[in-house]
Amino acid sequence: MINIALFGPPGAGKGTQSAFLIEKYDLFYISTGDILRKELAEETKLGLEAKSIIASGKLVSDEIIVQILEKTIKENSQANGFLFDGFPRTNIQAYILEGLMIQLNTSLNCLISIEVPEDVSVTRLLNRGLTSGRMDDNELVIRNRLKEYEDKTLPVLNFYKEKGNYIAIDGNKAVEEVTTQIEEIINKELSKKLMNVVIFGYPGCGRGSQGMALSKKYGLEYISTGRMLEEEIDGGTELGKRITQIYESGELVPDEIVVPLILEKIRNSRTVKGFIFKGFPRTLVQSYILDGILKKHNSTICKIIDIQVSMLELISRLSNRSKTTHCKPYDTSTEKIVRRLKDHEEKTIPVLDKYKEIHDVAIVSGEAPFEIVFERMAVEIENGFKNLR
Ligand code: AMP
């Protein structure tokens, strides 16, 4: 979940920017001004109460704001995140927002302040007044709104400066340029909230098919180093030829080849919600590499799942697969299968043991039909998402 507040004087462009951001990041938009105008148009008790205050350009009471927000937030608690426009507008509302976020077991990622000089605000609002039909887009009320902004709303910035999640941007630029500045900030915030899953389990336990299906269901990028290496071979690239030679010699593909492939995949996956790693990390060294890669993106491992299947069942599955068209180059003989299982025992089990000391490793039994194992995995991933909030 990602929660952002767009801040700035009337006419800064908060509404314009919001329209694009809610679409791109699938956020639920909360504009207290829009909600109040709707209440007003529908002539509800609340709308009538706020009418004269809005018409004068003053701020409506915190009681009214809490009433409309509590309802909207509760009704949409499953949203991907919230984009607030026009709230918080006073120091008290900053505390109210903290409380509302706690109720959802989440927090505000940052407050983005779109800064524009006063004369620009006035010109923009007067222009908007020609077509908006808003009763408060006229010069007298615009001046009042800006005064309210200066007196009551600007001090809110100190709240967020002290918290360390205030970010200012230059709003006196073309719409697209302002959008780019906001996108950069949100992308950075999103990368801190990536849901990174590592799936462990012996070869043949079903980690590949489960990993792929889970990545589709949850909008996560599936990173299987084995598959990426195969793609290089199938593509007939120079790298692919080198990898084939390494496979034939029976050596492990070195980290110098595997790591750049992972980095490239991550670089090309800017809008995903996270990653599912399968077949990496395979060694203790690679476990440190993965920590480093994720740290560079301000992120970390969120969930580790170990799929457990008995050794007899593994051997039976792998040798059955070797007789089908799904046969992998490293599963073509019993010797190769046994060597792969042994390799896993020697090199990868110590990685899992290391993680067990520092993470909560979820154990899922893989000896059931695909759909049942999938359900078990899905429960674990959804728990991981809850912890991300
Ligand atoms: P806006 O559409 O955000 O410019 O808001 C229009 C008017 O609605 C403001 O001038 C206020 O009268 C009222 N309003 C909107 N949001 C708030 C808020 N968070 N607190 C108090 N009054 C608000």
Q: What are 157-216's pLDDT values in tens digits?
A: 999 999 999 999 999 999 999 999 999 999 888 877 889 999 999 999 999 999 999 999
Question: Is residue 124 over pLDDT 80?
Answer: yes
**Cα 188 to ligand 1 centroid, rounded to whole Å:** 29
pLDDT at 327: 75
> How far does residue 66's CA lie from ligand 1's centre (Å)?
13
Query: Which atom number of ligand 1 is nearest to the Cα of residue 34?
Result: 2
Q: What is the structure's pLDDT at 351?
A: 97
Give the pLDDT of residue 104.
Answer: 85
| Closest atom of ligand 1 to CA, residue 36 | 8
Q: What distance in angstroms lies between residue 21's CA and the mean position of ligand 1's atoms?
A: 20
Q: Which of 29, 72, 89 to mutate to test the pocket of ligand 1 (most atoms within 8 A of CB)?
A: 89
Residue-level pLDDT at 227: 92
Fold of 195-388: Rossmann fold (3.40.50)
Ligand 1 centroid–CA 68 distance in Å is 12
Ligand 1 pocket: which of 7, 54, 66 to mutate (most atoms within 8 A of CB): 54
Q: What percent of the chain has pLDDT over 70?
A: 98
Average confidence (pLDDT) over 296-324 = 91
Question: 210 CB contacts (<8 Å, ≥6 apart)?
Answer: 199, 307, 366, 370, 373, 374, 377
- Regarding predicted confidence, which is higher, 193 or 318? 318
Mean pLDDT of 254-276: 91
How many A from CA of 317 to the centre of ligand 1? 64
Mean pLDDT estimate for the chain: 93
Residues 36-47 have a mean pLDDT of 95
| CA 36 to ligand 1 center in whole angstroms | 8
Q: How confident is the model at residue 16 (pLDDT cuts 50, 70, 90)?
A: very high
> Quick check: 48 and 79 in contact, CB under 8 A?
no
Residue 77's pLDDT is 85
- How far does residue 343's CA lie from ligand 1's centre (Å)? 64
pLDDT band for position 33 (cuts 50, 70, 90): very high
| Percentage of the chain lying above the pLDDT 90 cut | 79
pLDDT at 26 over 80: yes
* Closest ligand 1 atom to 148 CA: 10
pLDDT tens-digit series, residues 267-308: 888 768 899 999 999 999 999 999 999 988 778 899 999 999
Q: What is the pLDDT of residue 389?
A: 66
pLDDT digits (tens, 9 = 90+) for 65-92: 999 999 899 899 888 899 999 999 999 9
Lining residues, ligand 1, CB within 6 Å: 10, 32-33, 36, 53-54, 57-60, 65, 86-87, 89, 93, 136, 145
According to CATH, the superfamily of the domain at 2-191 is P-loop containing nucleotide triphosphate hydrolases (3.40.50.300)
Average pLDDT of the residues in 110-123 = 96
User: Is there a common fold for 2-191 and 195-388?
Assistant: yes
Q: How far is the CA of 25 from the centre of ligand 1 (A)?
A: 24
Per-residue pLDDT at 348 exceeds 80: yes
Name which residue leads in pLDDT, 128 or 336.
128
* CA 251 – CA 227 distance, rounded (Å): 17
What does the pLDDT look like over 208-238, one tens digit per residue? 999 999 999 999 999 999 999 999 999 999 9
Mean pLDDT of 241-255: 87
**Quick one: average pLDDT of 126-142?**
93
User: In this predicted structure, what is the pLDDT of residue 164?
Assistant: 93
pLDDT of 386 above 80? no
For residue 85, the ligand 1 atom closest to its alpha carbon is 3
Most informative mutation of 14, 29, 32 for ligand 1 (most atoms within 8 A of CB) = 32
pLDDT value of residue 142: 96
Ligand 1, atom 8, residue with closest C-alpha? 33
Extents of the domains making up the chain: 2-191, 195-388
Q: Which atom of ligand 1 lies nearest, measured to the CA of 87?
A: 19
Q: What is the pLDDT of residues 328-338, one digit of tens each?
A: 767 778 888 89
The residue whose CA has the least distance to atom 1 of ligand 1 is 33
Q: Please check the confidence at residue 47 and state whether its pLDDT lies above 80.
A: yes
